[in-house]
Structure 1
């Protein structure tokens, strides 16, 4: 009997122990579920104070000091511009994030590999030496300028439309997979060549301050803005870029530039204001009634061709070095071409030539009498930019077109 009671007691104790074990196990599972469902806003998960404060203020909707899966999923945009952040650890929790702007902080690293829904990333003006974007295949806009990047792989970012990576240390940039790019800026890097043949959607290209020796833009028929200044170019073909409104190419070694097929630049040259900045180059600028500016910037030694002269009806004989005073006064010619040996044009040489509409004067001509073309109305002087003839036209309010034969 006693033995039976001991057995029953033992069974009861075992049952209690089993129940206790089950209860503890259940509590452990519940605790793990809670830990898995929430991200506590603390220095472990978000070590940067500024980022942690931002998460508390803008992501923790119920203010309980932790982020639920619902709260995390609701975060589509994070704006931390100019906040002084040194770390963005914790951003990996926000997997639904579409827009991240951490411009001008103190970041030395940035891991966005878990933010696969990112469309817009701004991380300019930090101290990033590396940026891995291989997982961010939905990215449409990227600004990573002003960092310490020596390489940038955007081959997986085929939806990119906007790319700014200026002021880094890039020696190469492959954009052959980025066929949707409309705006590309890689100014002030160390790039010596680039293939833009697949970027046919480009509307704006800024590549100044690099080491480019060639720049092929013949496939970029939608370009309206091109800045390739301060490179090592000796030629530039913009004949297919018929929509150009802005072109800057000073600081190269381009001897001649033909913009005849670019009507907006032709307007700038033919109707705009000519300004010579000396060692900084020259410009033609013109605005229409809608306050849209058309601008062309180039080196003083670059001859601009913006118009084709009409067929001449009088050509000054080759090897002629001067045109004497009153030599052609009241003559009836309409289009005149002077030889590349001509040095001087005398007083009233073409005075009262009322039919004269175009004259080509070469760069060799260094002296033109003030009254050489008195009485010539509607005259256009064609001459190389920076020549004495160009200065004469400007001083005497005569229409001038940069041109070389």
Structure 2
């Protein structure tokens, strides 16, 4: 039963009898509400039912989200399904603080997402294996787990939020090993780096707050293959004067370079980096023209179906919408090249328009070419 239902029941019952019992009755009602809140202090704010030591809710699409845990739990095994419904998410703060005695957690391969602060401050947790099914690890997910020395993180984790492992012995050891902490192709920390920093090949993203307030770095080189720089990644890097960005970059989130007052971006003419620099009044130096890929997929045919239809339009719109809010676009390099139907070097609403126009004309029997469409 949801906590708010208990409180609402107590308040409603009291309200019905206030007229008959007077102020002392009101006081009793308030005391009863306090009792409900006190007795439920370790109960999550929302849940639909319980399973062993776990509290859970059912999402709109019929999946299970773990929302809390019995405060006395020590060893917890999360099931892969409950009542035939798959367990796909560990919710925000589900185990944080209240499960202070938790020493071991078994996460099934049905889980795809671990929410913000899910295990924050679980100070007795010593080992965690995150299954290959997980694609998203939220900010501060394991922050301040002061005895967490062993963490297995899959390559499938495309998103790792800021400070996900800060305050753990595992993170401290990683930083000691190399000031540039890279997990699943994502730079999650570089705040102890100094001077000129070269991000190695194989990295695909720069995590949120990864270099925040690092006043010791002066130059950064970002290799080909990096597609996104997340929020506040280099914020407060006052002595950062030069950053070189390849033409693979497709998104930069809010505040990524806030406070970098002496920064100049070096990149390629026609690239996203140039557009970002212009839109944010950051000096830009060209290193030459951006590479225009010769797509292995036909123009506009993102799914390789040998025709251009509503599916291709959907993929393109999904990409544009995600990139606009700083999220990964979800397309491969070849698909991005195919989606850039106007050849501008970036995928945007103009490409969506041309694709819709192309599909509409073919839908009414007009066998027009891309050249004819783009000439309009």
TM tier relative to shorter chain: 0.3 to 0.5
Q: Normalised by the size of structure 2, how large is the TM-score?
A: 0.40
Rg comparison, structure with higher value: 1
Could you tell me the TM-score, scaled by structure 1's length?
Answer: 0.37
